[in-house]
Amino acid sequence: MRRRPLLAVPFLAMSTAAAAETAVDVALVLAVDASGSIGEEEFRLQREGCAEAITHPAVLAAIRGGALGRIALAMVEWGAPGGAATVVGWQAVQDAGSAAALAARFREAPRSAQSWNAIGDAIDHASALLQACPFEATRQVIDVSGDGPDMRGLRRAPLARDEAVAAGITINALAILRGRPGLVESYQAEVIGGPGAFVLTADGRADFSRALRAKLVREIA
């Protein structure tokens, strides 16, 4: 009769260790605009910006400063109605080595075929990706970046946003300014939601890395 607790101890230890390995401070989906308005050079700058941001010392310091010192990221490209695509699946980042490995995946992933600006569909896709995340996250965040407002899709952005927020997801946005008036206001009204949700701006694609870096530090912290 006394053997059963003893046999359960190794199983409990393994379960605790496995849970620790999959626990992260935040699960974050980078939902980036790949619509037809983005040329190849702009697309390259955007991908490079993601790679540079995740490997920046300020971002790594923010990750190390978390309770668990580890986050999980995935990348989604959006644009076409119903066409949002996961181009880089979930990966944990806890140090410079894992950040560099993820940055390489960001740079090497093929560009998905997109058009238009279906932000609502992007939010729905990112929400489903978070629901299937293999990591146990204290917080779940969708990071939407784009240079235009929600234009068309299977579902409009406010409906998708409200459903995601009801599920405990926070949605922030990075508005890439290209002389388009009212973009920040559009993202504030239709895209962001959840506790502490915010919009940051980038002055064009060349400024994307700096803006994303600042956004990641704020989201991770």
DSSP for 29-61, please give it: EEEEE-STT--HHHHHHHHHHHHHHHHSHHHHH
What's the pLDDT score for residue 153? 61
What's the pLDDT score for residue 7? 37
Task: Render the burial of 74-107: b for 16+ CB within 10 Å, e for the rest.
Answer: bbbbbbbbebbbbbbebbbbbeeebbeebbebbe
Q: Which residue has the tokens 């359960």?
A: 8
Mean per-residue pLDDT over the chain, rounded: 88
Across 36-45, 48-57, 180-189, which has the greatest mean pLDDT?
48-57
State the DSSP code for 113: P
What's the pLDDT score for residue 195? 94
What's the pLDDT score for residue 151? 81
> What is the rounded CA–CA span in Å between residue 192 and residue 213?
18
Confidence of residue 14 (pLDDT cuts 50, 70, 90): very low
From 52-61, 75-84, 121-130, 159-168, the region with the lowest mean pLDDT:
75-84
What's the pLDDT score for residue 17? 37
Write the pLDDT tens digit of every residue in 146-191.
988 888 766 899 999 999 999 999 999 999 987 677 999 999 999 9
CATH superfamily of 26-220: von Willebrand factor, type A domain (3.40.50.410)
Write the pLDDT tens digit of every residue in 80-104.
888 999 999 999 999 999 999 999 9
What's the pLDDT score for residue 116? 78
**What are the sequence ranges of the domains in the chain?**
26-220
